[in-house]
Amino acid sequence: MDTNHLINLRHKFETFRRPFGFNYVHFLLIHLYNSSSSSAAIIKTYPLYSIFSRLQHKLNLIEREQEDYYQSIIDAIVLIVSQNDVCLTETVEQTYLNINIYPISCLFRLYSPIHLILFMEPLVLLNNQRLNNIIKIIFANEYPKDKCDYIHFCIAHRKTTLIMDLLSGSVQQEQNEDNWLITKINSPSDRAWLPIHYVSF
């Protein structure tokens, strides 16, 4: 299966009933992680996995752990994102997550492809230079914004090292290596929690 076929499947995907905001890039990212033995078990704990699984069945897509197939998925993602990078920050609302099943994820209401990447990395994408650059730029531009909870999400999942990796080389990081924490220390998430609340949870 090549990149063109994956791009063409997008038209069929758009006809399916799905949660508002769950876009094709979000779907392809889950498919990529699901196709890798190093991340397949973890991705099944992602809150939107059941939605992906239903849509995957409708598209007749199967996981194939082959390097050329990974590359086809990544190429399709890069192509779509290069046309409109908003698809990486488009959110899906998840308000009824069971705390017993999703003890950390239930603390967050909105999920975007960037949240998925933060949930899964460093496993697959950050090894790809093109996507790595795109993700770093979007993360650095978005995290200081009001109500943006990327920092809170990373803290809740014990991934402060990932924050520093994503900000490495950025203007903000060069100014102060702890600038991300200074910027967000008193900034509430969408659910009105401060970073310290996630640290304490």
Identity of the highest mean pLDDT range in 24-33, 96-105, 180-189: 24-33
How high is the pLDDT of residue 187?
Answer: 82
How high is the pLDDT of residue 171?
Answer: 47
Query: Is 75 exposed, middle or buried, given 0-12, 13-18 or 19+ CB atoms closer than 10 A?
Result: middle
Query: Of the ranges 75-79, 102-106, 109-113, 186-190, which one carries the lowest mean pLDDT score?
Result: 186-190
Confidence label for 49 from pLDDT (cuts 50, 70 and 90)? very high
Looking at residue 97, its amino acid is L
How many separate domains does the chain show?
A: 1
**Predicted TM-score of the model (pTM):** 0.89
Which are the contacts of 190, defined by CB distance < 8 A and separation ≥ 6?
Answer: 108, 109, 110, 147, 149
Q: What are phi and psi of 92, to 5 degrees?
A: -115, 135
Query: By the 8 A CB rule, do 151 and 144 touch?
Result: no
Range of the domain at 114: 3-200
